[in-house]
A and B are shown apart, each in its own frame.
Chain A
């Protein structure tokens, strides 16, 4: 069975640009969460979506936005990129929303902002 897939694998952008990261959850999973993992640190929660509705948002600026599509795939958008946005962006899917459902992580998208 296919796990969580993310694209692209790697991405290089310059300050001020915007970026769109994509995630396809495991088949049958209806919830997607996004995390930012800066090198050497644990993942930090950005968003959770369930049935196309935002269920939770972490402490990130409005430059970060996301959405979930009818097929439960999701996009994370970041505008006006800063150097500090360089990180591994992880997508996790679960059967339903809420933290008691086991979250399965994808391999991540490595974003480098120059």
Chain B
């Protein structure tokens, strides 16, 4: 699989491999994090979320890891498929706020 330690704007992945998308969040007070997938011409689609009292959460083919010490969030996609090609955003929020603050996004391209 592909492992990226730093946030990169693009990620090219071989179909069937695992991919890891990284995100550094900005606010140490953030206590809720969400990963969104945005396909061309569509709005962001919820993938998975995690609260600050957890460090790992698993969904269907996806896993989110949270490292509060270094303010880092990652999304792991298992057995990447062509339909996973999209822009992936992490979003953060905190108790006293109603808004979601989005990161810059990573464009994932799956190679056949």
Contacts and interface: CB of A to CB of B under 8 A. Distances in A.
Interface residues of B, number: 21
Interface in B7-51: 32, 36, 41-46, 49
Contacts of B99: 33, 45, 48, 56, 58, 99
A78 interface: no
A106 interface: yes
B1 interface: no
Given A43-B44, A107-B42, 19 more contacts: A4-B43, A33-B98, A35-B100, A41-B104, A42-B89, A42-B105, A43-B100, A45-B100, A55-B98, A56-B99, A58-B99, A98-B98, A99-B93, A99-B100, A103-B100, A104-B46, A105-B43, A107-B41, A108-B43
Grouping DSSP codes into helix (H, G, I), strand (E, B) and loop, the A interface class, with mixed when no group exceeds half, is loop
Interface of B: 32, 36, 41-46, 49, 89, 91, 93, 97-105
Contact of B98 (A48, A90, A105): A48
Contacts of A92: 43
B46 A43 contact: no
Nearest to B104: A42
Contact of A42 (B41, B43, B102): B102
